[in-house]
Structure 1
């Protein structure tokens, strides 16, 4: 039996404050009422008042309000101006409020879905060179915070999560969010995976993270995918699934703990390098034309610590770093603001 796909909606928190959004709607209602009153006033010769034969401005207001909110006249109608104004300014808003309750119900069941589909299509149209984060738990949320701190616009981040509460926190940051299962092709297609810059997978379970990676790699052969696994023996399956980078926080934490037991400042410096909030940070970039043929140690943009040539890493002390070549990728240490050290 084919599993029925549950419709998902890609959304982003509106940039308008709640009070301003409501204010615009109220202003729109009053603008329509003012337009109707103005038309009736300038065309008052076409109106007849069976009470006194004279159509006043108050009569126009009364007539407009009654015409907008009712389908006709009964045998009993207000005749004094006070009664008419009371009906126009007090009774009519009450009627409008009741009508809005029915419209609100129709909106939730019909109009809202149409609006969400249109808004989702608009967001999808503008999704290019974005970062997809599958999983917004502790690690995923920290990754999003770090991306934003490094200068990535929240609107360029798409968070996929099954937990609505977690999605609410991501949406509050200004990210695009999608309630859905990232292991499914349709979900990743909804977030335009083939147009993404990179993907971070932090599903909380190794098997789920590996399955998400496998699904993403199946849809995009060249997308950089970083995945987090907790068990060391799952690193090989994660790479086999197509992960570009596999991170084991448990192993990394163990290395820091072991190093800090005899060298207390190593862990601090590693955290300094890893975080954008540190005094220095690591940066990866392509070699420039002016640097080709020069040793890694002579670059003036930072402190070169490693190069990648044909996919293979070479430390600054290796002979390969004595002469930079076209296509090399340089890993260097720079100041937090990106300036050379």
Structure 2
């Protein structure tokens, strides 16, 4: 179904706000013109008014402006050597700078912005195999940092948030951003959710996050969606809304704390597994053709932990894991970036 509402367009970081950039340019032009007027006024004896023979302050302003903006009309002219040198060596460069400032402003605020808007609209139109992150708070930003650390191109990540300051941080990472409400169908359609490869939902509030998942699921029935919830009671509603993966940091922290009571190294190893910078890393992949028929524990690429078949998971000790089948999904431990060579 084609929507008739106006599409929101992705944006990327601009060096300065429009008002600040314009103000700087105006101040620079005023400073240059004021300097030229001041010198002409103090050296007005070097000017001759062919109309009435008297050079007033208004004549100085008039002469300076037409000298900077045009080639002059000849009604007022420099007659001394000093006045002519000043016009030749100072006023002429000022004229060039002012023209460049005007041309640069036209480029930045008309041509460049029109080009950038067209370019971002084209990027948005062609979005595919991208990751959508709904919410760029502490958890969402850490997830994006980890994705980039794992080799994900920041330009293939789209951030949706309602806070401009958060989006500025996301833009600084090189991500595409959209200032909008991720609970709305129109917003998710604008970021081409039907062509995304996965989605992370970290809206900050469990009810908002679950609503985002519900909205995303009916638009993209097969999209992998990961959500973070703060309350354990909300894990079931999140799964019922369509979340593929539900993460409760409080429960996970409790598990780490409980594990540390039985051994002080268990929590360290778990954190090592979860981080890209660790010596070991969890990896998920499809079984390779040459691995079909092998036992999960006999993998050469890493330490096989679990195999998923038909939507069910089996540990390495289960009978189903003694012979891998084509299409199985393997979860294994492999060497991390900081693993010894």
CA distance in 1, matches of 2:70, 2:278: 67
Partners of 2:247 and 2:340 in 1: CA distance: 28
TM-score, normalising length: structure 2 = 0.74
Change (3 A) 1:9 1:80: farther
- Alpha-carbon distance between aligned partners in 2 of 1:176 and 1:296, rounded to the nearest angstrom: 40
Cα distance in 2 for partners of 1:67, 1:173 equals 47
For 1:194 and 1:70, the matched residues in 2 are separated by 57
Which residue number corresponds to residue 266 of structure 1? Answer: 266
**Distance in 2 between residues matched to 1:128 and 1:68, nearest whole Å:** 52
- Give the structure 2 partner of residue 132 of structure 1: 132
Match of 2:50 in 1: none
- Using the TM superposition, give the Cα deviation of residue 306 of structure 1 relative to its aligned residue in structure 2, in angstroms: 0.1
For structure 1, which runs of at least 5 residues remain unmatched after alignment?
Answer: 17-21, 23-65
- Is the Cα contact below 8 Å between 1:302 and 1:339 reproduced in 2? no
Q: Distance in 2 between matches of 1:95 and 1:257?
A: 71
SS at 1:181 equivalent: coil
Match of 1:157 in 2: 157
Report the secondary structure of 2:256's partner residue: helix
SS at match of 1:230: coil
Structural RMSD (CA): 3.3
What is the alpha-carbon distance in structure 2 between the residues aligned to residue 89 and residue 219 of structure 1? Answer: 66
- Residue 251 of structure 1 and its aligned partner are, at CA, apart by 0.9
Q: Bigger CA drift: 297-306 or 256-265?
A: 256-265
Structure 1 position 220, deviation (Å): 1.3
C-alpha distance 111-311 of structure 1, shift in aligned 2 (>3 A): same
The alignment of Structure 1 onto Structure 2 pairs a total of residues equal to: 289
Aligned residue number for residue 246 of structure 1: 246
Larger mean Cα displacement after TM superposition, 254-263 or 77-86: 77-86
Is the contact made by 2:13 and 2:168 (CA closer than 8 Å) also made in structure 1?
no
- Structure 1 pair 249–111 and aligned structure 2 pair: CA distance change class (3 A): same
More deviation in 283-292 or 82-91?
Answer: 82-91
Shift of 1:77: 4.2
- Name the structure 1 match of 2:191: 191
Q: Which moved more, 1:71-80 or 1:138-147?
A: 71-80
Cα displacement (A) at 1:180:
1.5
> Residue 111 and residue 308 in structure 1: after superposition, are their counterparts in 2 closer, same or farther (change >3 A)?
same
1:263, distance to aligned residue in structure 2 (A)? 2.1
* Secondary structure of the corresponding residue to residue 334 of structure 2: strand
Please give the secondary structure, in 2, of the residue aligned with 1:139: helix
**2:290 matched to 1:293?**
no
Q: Distance in 2 between matches of 1:185 and 1:149?
A: 31
Partner residue, 2:202: 202
TM-score normalised by length of structure 1? 0.74
8 Å contact from structure 1 (residues 167, 179) kept in 2: yes
CA distance in 1, matches of 2:152, 2:7: 29
**Do the aligned partners of residues 222 and 74 (structure 1) sit closer, same or farther apart at CA in structure 2, a change above 3 Å counting?**
farther
| Cα gap change, 1:7 to 1:288, in 2 (>3 Å) | closer
> Is contact 1:193–1:216 with CA below 8 Å preserved after alignment?
yes
Deviation at 1:234, TM superposition (A): 1.1
Aligned pairs (5 A) from 1:274-289:
274-289=274-289
Tell me the alpha carbon deviations over residues 252-274 of structure 1, each in whole angstroms, 9 at most, x when there is no partner: 11111111123221111111111
